[in-house]
Each structure stands twice: as C-alpha cells, then as structure tokens.
Amino acid sequence: MFIIESYGTAVLFCVVTMLCWGSWANTQKLSAGNWRFELFYWDYVLGIVGLALLLALTLGSIGEGGRSFLADVGQADMANIGSALWGGVLFNAANILLVAAIAIAGMSVAFPVGIGLALVIGVVVNYLNAPVGSAGLLFGGIALIVVAILLNAVAYRRTATTGANLSTKGLLLSVVAGCLMGLFYGYVAKAMFPNFDRPEPGKLSPYTAVVFFSLGILASNFVFNTLLMRRPFAGTPVSYADYFRGSGRNHLTGVLGGMIWCLGMAFSILASDKAGPAISYGLGQGATVVAALWGIYVWREFRSAPRGVNGLLNGMLLCYIIGLGLLIVAR
C-alpha cells in the first residue's frame, strides 16, 4: 500500500485535509435552495463510502509497504473492525448535527464553534493515547483556539436576526456536534497498526480502517437520518419519496461533498503515521479557518452584522491561525 515517508509530506497531506474538510460544506450550500440537508446527507454518505472503497482498492493495494487491502480484511480482528465502525457511528452522530447547524447558522458559525471544539477535544484525546510533540506548544495552540471559538459565538449572537430561539439552536447544535466529533478519530486510530510499514496481526491498515469507518457511517445513517427526516430541527418532515424526486444535480452535489470530505479523512489518517494522531487531527481541523473564510467572504453570512462584529471575526481568525501554527511546530 502507499504510505508517507517524511514529516514534510505528512504536513502537506494535513494541508490537503484542511482544505477538503473546510470546503466540502460548499456543496451543501450550493444545493440548499431547493434541497433539504436531510436529503443531501444521504448522497454525502454514499460519496464517503464510495471514495473509501476506491482508495482501498487502488492506493491501498499497490506498493510493497504495509499490507494490501483485501489481505488486511482477511486477517483483521473483530475488535479492531468494531473500533473503526464505532468511530464511524460517533462521527455520523456528530456530523449530522453539524450539517443541521450549517443549515440553521451557516458555515462561518457551525465550523468555528463545532469543529473548533472538536479540535480541542480531539487533540487532547489523541495526545493522551499517543503523546507525540511538545505538550506546551500543543496546549498553547488549543488555548488560542478556545478563544477563537468564544469570539465567534459572541459575533454570531450579536448578528443573529432570525430570532433568539433559532440562533440559540444553531449554537447548541454546533456545541453538541463538536463534543461528539472530538471523540471519533481516536477509535479509528486505535484500530490501526501504529507504524504503517510494519503491519501487526489483527490490526487494520489505514485504508481498511477508513473503509470500515465509512461503513459505520452508512449503517448508522439509517437510524440517525431517518429520525431527523421525520423530526427535523427546522422545517417540515421529509420522506424517502422526496429523496428519489431529487434531480441528478442534487444527488451528484451531495456525492461530491462526501468524496471531498473522505479524501481529507484518508489523507489525515495517512499523515498520522509520521505526524502523530494529535498533530494530524489538529492540523486537519484547520478546516475551521477555511470554512469561516468561505462563510464570511464568499457566502457573506455576516453581511448584516452590527458595528464591532468584524473586529471579533478578525480576532477569531487570527487566534485560529496562530493556534494552528503552534500545532505545526509542536512536533
């Protein structure tokens, strides 16, 4: 299988992860005019599963390093398969709440609050499991990111014009999504052999882990998204019949969003071999800055903001950028 050979390449892969994770939600924004996010989400999940399988059967099955995908599946221990599947279930619970928060509050709120909180929790959890890098720099970066989250929440509360209940719901969904999102990565990392060029019996390769992770997302979606379709956070209920009435453009947009996210996930997992899980996950969650820039400057989600909010947003972006810089040099 293809594996990364240097820390510099690992950082580059983390940058690609950051761009993918910060940009996939644009596909939801593009389809939001006539396509409910609950329906979009089915195609998004199919895109994740499809790309995970494609990567496993290509990059995960070539080269002399590690262990090829099909051979890896054949020897995998059920406990490790279960760990990757559970990571997918946790991610899906978090991500479906994040998508709901995007629909209600926008990218420039849901990402900095939800994914920022996930970054803080994820870095701490992954560092405790595999303490790679300078603790002082890591946690200094985390402190700045916490400040950025608080600045963004204050900016959103000052700007929200759709009613106090709806603005509170958007923030609460982002917070719950972030708490769950910070936990999933550790279960996927636990399922894999730590040194990708030295396979261990029963453990999973990064490509196999991502495949089972994606299958956990798909299986849990029949529960989570079905409930959300029947009892949505906003708007009227939708049905599976509504899904099949969608246009080809609607469906392809959702699949593209899932594939973009999954590419970021695969690159993050591959980078964790040389960068360590805490740094790899933390750098990937620089997606918060990318998504905030999309939301603020392209989708103009704060265009009606009162005086002083632009200063809060600029402070938020600055804290994020410096915090992420500390994560990079922590290794």
- pLDDT, one tens digit per residue, over 94-117 is 999 988 888 887 877 787 888 888
Q: pLDDT tens digits for 181-234?
A: 888 988 998 999 988 989 999 999 999 999 999 999 999 999 999 999 999 988
**Residue pair 259/96 in contact by the 8 Å Cβ criterion:** no
3-state DSSP of 169-210: HHHHHHHHHHHHHHHHHHHHHHHECCCCCCCCCCCECHHHHH
| pLDDT for 117 | 86
b/e map 268-288, b = 16+ CB within 10 Å: bbbbbbbbbbbbbbbbbbbbb
CB-based contacts of 135: which residues, under 8 Å, 6+ apart? 127
| pLDDT for 164 | 47
| pTM given for the model | 0.85
**Tokens read off for 53:** 């399988």
Helix (H, G, I), strand (E, B) or coil at 193: coil
Q: Return d(Cα 262, Cα 17) in angstroms, integer.
A: 9
| pLDDT for 160 | 64
3-state DSSP of 285-309: CCHHHHHHHHHHHHCCCCCCCCCCH
**Tens of pLDDT, residue by residue, the chain (331 residues):** 999 989 889 989 998 999 999 899 899 888 877 799 999 999 999 999 999 999 999 999 998 888 999 999 999 999 999 999 999 999 999 999 988 888 887 877 787 888 888 878 888 887 888 787 888 998 898 899 888 888 887 887 777 654 444 467 888 898 899 888 888 988 998 999 988 989 999 999 999 999 999 999 999 999 999 999 999 988 899 999 999 999 999 999 999 999 999 999 999 999 988 888 777 877 777 777 888 888 888 887 777 778 888 898 889 889 988 988 888 788 7
| pLDDT for 162 | 44
Q: Return d(Cα 145, Cα 321) in angstroms, integer.
A: 9
**Tokens read off for 224:** 């989570």
**C-alpha dist (Å) from residue 177 to 63, 80, 116, 123, 167:** 38, 25, 10, 16, 16
Q: Return d(Cα 18, Cα 100) in angstroms, integer.
A: 21
**C-alpha dist (Å) from residue 47 to 30, 62, 255, 259:** 16, 23, 4, 5
**Tokens read off for 279:** 């740094």
Q: Write the DSSP symbol of residue 273.
A: H
Phi–psi pair at 192, nearest 5 degrees: -100, 155
Closest CA to 117 of 98, 104, 136, 93: 98
| pLDDT for 107 | 76
Give the CA angle between residues 110, 279, 209 to the nearest 5°.
85
**Residue pair 84/299 in contact by the 8 Å Cβ criterion:** no
Closest CA to 205 of 10, 49, 62: 62
b/e map 207-223, b = 16+ CB within 10 Å: bbbbbbbbbbbbebbee
Residue 183 CB neighbour total at 10 angstroms? 18
